[in-house]
Amino acid sequence: MSVLELVVASSRDLAAGIRGLRLRRSDGSDLPGFTAGAHIDVEVRLADGSIATRSYSIASAPGERRFYEIAVLRETQGAGGSAFMHDRLTVGTRLNASEPRNDFPLAADAAEHLLIAGGIGITPILAMVRVLAAEGRRFEMHYCARAPEAMAFRAEVAALAGDRAHFHFDGGDPRRGLDLASALKPPAPGRHVYLCGPKPMIEAALVLCRDAGWPGEQVHFEFFAEAAAAIGDQPIELVLARSGRTLTVAADRTILETLIEAGAEPLSDCRRGECGVCVTAVIAGEPLHRDYYLTDAEKRAGKSMCICISRAQSKRLVLDL
């Protein structure tokens, strides 16, 4: 996939701590098309001076080819990627990005769409609303944030969705905001639910969907946070069966990061355990599954794992790499 050379066409404050950016091609030509729910990976410079990539969902309409609109939440405890997007980018700044990819598309065969967004999770959901409203398709959405001033794109959502949009404010206490149990309708043929926002909100919604009997193929979700170390994580002795190499995965690094740093080029995409691109066969050892892609039966079997986010319960892990 080719690299897009982009330039910041405009910048605006969307809400408290959220910057909206419109990015166009540096030569002024049309951008590659995309579908609602897609994202681009943008090169950023971290606080330590290193170059990394960060994924940003496209909030603009899929038919718009002049620019991509993204929204960036300033993460005060982050590694510096969001600070770079807030503080270093001005109109005219050039940057590199990937072409759009979509791990969170609208279901083509759905008869009804239930959209639930939390905070910055509105960005892919807004693109979906644009499509559904324009095509006259059946949908309802719920959008929650701490307060009205923290809600990006609120006016756009209200104008597009009208009375199909429901806004919820919790003042920082999730118990006072969106009632997920009430928002999630019972499962029905053709009814699909889409979730994007903070990890606790999505995980709570997934439990409710599971308990209510929602078919997995009718539940779609996307996190914004990548893998993070958990309390108790230990180093792993990682053996690559094909090459014969042995690597050490530090407690604060993922298997995928360790492989890339060692010069390997494993397949990957979301780095959140959602898409399944990085699934790798396990030859020996006991995986510690943290992904959302493998089925419960596959996880119990222990024969494969998502190396972007999962670790090992055993001290030694042998992979088919």
For residue 72, the domain's CATH number is 2.40.30.10
Q: Stretch 251-258: mean pLDDT, rounded?
A: 91
Residue 200, CA atoms < 13 Å, CB-side half-sphere: 5
Render pLDDT for 290-305 as a digit per residue (tens, 0 to 9): 988 898 899 999 999 9
Between the alpha carbon of residue 198 and those of residues 13, 55, 110, 312, 316, the distances in Å are 21, 15, 25, 25, 32
Q: Mean of the per-residue pLDDT values for the chain?
A: 93
More confident residue, 261 or 127: 127
Count the neighbouring beta carbons within 10 Å of the beta carbon of residue 247: 16
- Tell me whether residue 44 is in a domain: yes
- Tell me whether residue 124 is in a domain: yes
Of 98, 132, 158, the domain-final residue: 98
The pLDDT of residue 1:
58
Which range among 35-39, 44-48, 306-310 shows the weakest confidence by mean pLDDT? 44-48
Based on the domain organization, do 118 and 157 belong to the same domain? yes
Is the distance from CB of 287 to CB of 279 less than 8 angstroms?
no
- Tell me whether residue 107 is in a domain: no
Based on the domain organization, do 117 and 93 belong to the same domain? no
Which range among 77-86, 225-234, 269-278 shows the weakest confidence by mean pLDDT? 225-234
Categorize the per-residue pLDDT at 152 as very low, low, confident or very high, splitting at 50, 70 and 90. Answer: very high
More confident residue, 86 or 47: 86
Q: Is the pLDDT of residue 11 over 90?
A: yes
Based on the domain organization, do 195 and 260 belong to the same domain? no
Q: Is the pLDDT of residue 225 over 70?
A: no
* CATH number, domain with residue 301: 3.10.20.30
- Tell me whether residue 86 is in a domain: yes
Of 48, 72, 98, the domain-final residue: 98
The pLDDT of residue 230:
74
Backbone phi, then psi, for 271, in 5-degree steps?
A: 60, 25
Based on the domain organization, do 91 and 132 belong to the same domain? no
Categorize the per-residue pLDDT at 228 as very low, low, confident or very high, splitting at 50, 70 and 90. Answer: low
Is the distance from CB of 31 to CB of 3 less than 8 angstroms?
no
Of 50, 76, 98, the domain-final residue: 98
Q: Stretch 243-258: mean pLDDT, rounded?
A: 92
Based on the domain organization, do 82 and 137 belong to the same domain? no
Q: Which of 298, 295, 321 is nearest to 307 (CA)?
A: 321
- Tell me whether residue 204 is in a domain: yes
CA 174 – CA 170 distance, rounded (Å): 6
Based on the domain organization, do 60 and 94 belong to the same domain? yes
Q: Which of 259, 313, 257, 303 is nearest to 281 (CA)?
A: 303
The pLDDT of residue 179:
92
Based on the domain organization, do 200 and 255 belong to the same domain? no
The pLDDT of residue 144:
95
Q: Is the pLDDT of residue 289 over 90?
A: yes
The pLDDT of residue 191:
98
* CATH number, domain with residue 180: 3.40.50.80
- Tell me whether residue 103 is in a domain: no
The pLDDT of residue 172:
81
Based on the domain organization, do 55 and 145 belong to the same domain? no
Based on the domain organization, do 117 and 140 belong to the same domain? yes
Q: Is the pLDDT of residue 56 over 80?
A: yes
Render pLDDT for 78-104 as a digit per residue (tens, 0 to 9): 778 999 999 999 999 999 999 999 989
- Tell me whether residue 229 is in a domain: no
Based on the domain organization, do 260 and 309 belong to the same domain? yes
Based on the domain organization, do 85 and 119 belong to the same domain? no
Based on the domain organization, do 35 and 70 belong to the same domain? yes
The pLDDT of residue 229:
66
Burial of residue 233 (number of CB atoms within 10 Å: 0-12, 13-18, 19+): middle
Categorize the per-residue pLDDT at 18 as very low, low, confident or very high, splitting at 50, 70 and 90. Answer: very high
38 is in which domain, residue-wise? 3-98
- Tell me whether residue 192 is in a domain: yes
Q: Stretch 227-253: mean pLDDT, rounded?
A: 88
Categorize the per-residue pLDDT at 252 as very low, low, confident or very high, splitting at 50, 70 and 90. Answer: confident
Categorize the per-residue pLDDT at 226 as very low, low, confident or very high, splitting at 50, 70 and 90. Answer: low
Q: Stretch 177-185: mean pLDDT, rounded?
A: 92
Q: Is the pLDDT of residue 17 over 90?
A: yes
**Domain count for the chain:** 3
